[in-house]
Amino acid sequence: MKIGIIGTGNIGGTLARKLRSAGHDIRLANSRGIEGVRAVADEIGAEPVDVRGAVDGVDAVILSIPFPAIAELPEDLFAGLPAGVPVIDTGNYYPGMRDPNIPEIDEGMVESLWVSRQIGRPVIKAFNNILAHSLAELGRPEGASDRLAVAVAGDDPQEKSLACVLVNEVGFDPVDAGELAQSWRQQPSTPAYCCDWNAEEMRHALAAAVPGKAPATRDRMMHTYAALGASPTHADIVASNRITNAPDTKA
């Protein structure tokens, strides 16, 4: 497949590497233009492009940039993208830590519904509830007993199915998280967020989410991580997330 990836951070860059290794043609873009992405694109064998090049003629788009950058994308960027081509939103909203406050989300709008409004097109929510280290290092073959899961939410069955294929190809079990309006269940600091669950545990975690509970926990996230010390291990972070985000989740 031809896959356009907008964003070269921890999640976007890792997905570019893993999907290129899986044999896909990757078009890679970021906010700095073609030259700004050329070095990393050349490193992984991707084609460096601008944001329009990441959308034109591709089979899937992965949008992996902070929310403020989404609002700055060209208004017509996705206007010509055919139905059935998923735009996969990997982003999360971190007010006070990285992002300026977005009133609509602060008032309760589901994050990916806000993204959809910004780009004028429905999205599929995936790869937002897995740690970058887990995504890069903990993928396993299909059927492995220690395989982790990634939640996938969205409204279009064809687009969701293709997103699930990509999740599987990079080494994780896709778990159907329902319609896009239900993707709040995988937003930051919900029980499904960054806890390295397997598929069964992920389904329990999604079901255990309580409306309106996560933002307060999310806003304490940096203090929670600071309590782990200067150099927490991946295991330390996962254990902290399970205690903080999912204290009552039973698999």
Indicate the domain borders of the chain.
Answer: 66-245
In sequence order, the 6+-apart residues with CB closer than 8 A to the CB of 164 are 152, 174, 176
Count of CA atoms in the C-beta half-sphere (13 A) of 182: 15
Candidates 90, 127, 138; CA nearest to 235 is 138
Is 75 a residue whose pLDDT tops 60? yes
Residue type, 73: L
Q: How many CB atoms lie within 10 A of CB 221?
A: 19
| Spatial distance between the Cα atoms of 125 and 97, rounded to a whole number of angstroms | 22
Distance of CA 215 to CAs 56, 94, 112, 239, Å?
36, 9, 15, 20
The Cα 177–Cα 150 span in angstroms is 9
Q: Any residues with CB less than 8 A from the CB of 123 and at least 6 apart, and which?
A: 63, 86, 87, 88, 89, 112, 115, 116, 154, 180
- Look at residue 251 and tell me whether its pLDDT is greater than 50: no
Query: Which amino acid type is present at position 183?
Result: S
For the segment 16-41, the average pLDDT, to the nearest whole number, is 95
Residue 35, H or E segment: helix 33-44
**Does the pLDDT value for residue 222 go beyond 90?**
no
Beta strands in the chain (DSSP E): 2-6, 25-29, 47-48, 60-63, 87-89, 124-126, 149-153, 173-176
Pick the CATH number of 66-245 from 3.10.520, 3.30.750, 3.30.70, 3.40.50: 3.40.50
User: Quick one: which of 115, 93, 121 has its CA closest to 106?
Assistant: 93
CA dihedral angle for residue 225, residue 64, residue 152, residue 223, rounded to 10 degrees: 10
Mean pLDDT in the chain?
Answer: 95
Mean pLDDT on 100-124: 96
Cβ atoms of 88 and 65 closer than 8 Å: no
How many Cα neighbours within 13 Å face the side chain of 95? 15
Q: 161: pLDDT confidence band, cut at 50, 70 and 90?
A: very high
Whole-angstrom distance, CA of residue 4 vs CA of residue 25: 9
Please give the average per-residue pLDDT across 62-68, as a whole number: 96
With 50 as the cut, is the pLDDT of residue 155 above it?
yes
Residues 6 or more apart in contact with residue 125 via CB below 8 angstroms: 88, 89, 112, 151, 152, 153, 154, 177, 180, 183, 186
Check whether 140 has a pLDDT greater than 80. Answer: yes
Q: Tell me: the pLDDT tens digits for 188-209?
A: 999 999 999 999 999 999 999 9
pTM of the entire predicted model: 0.95
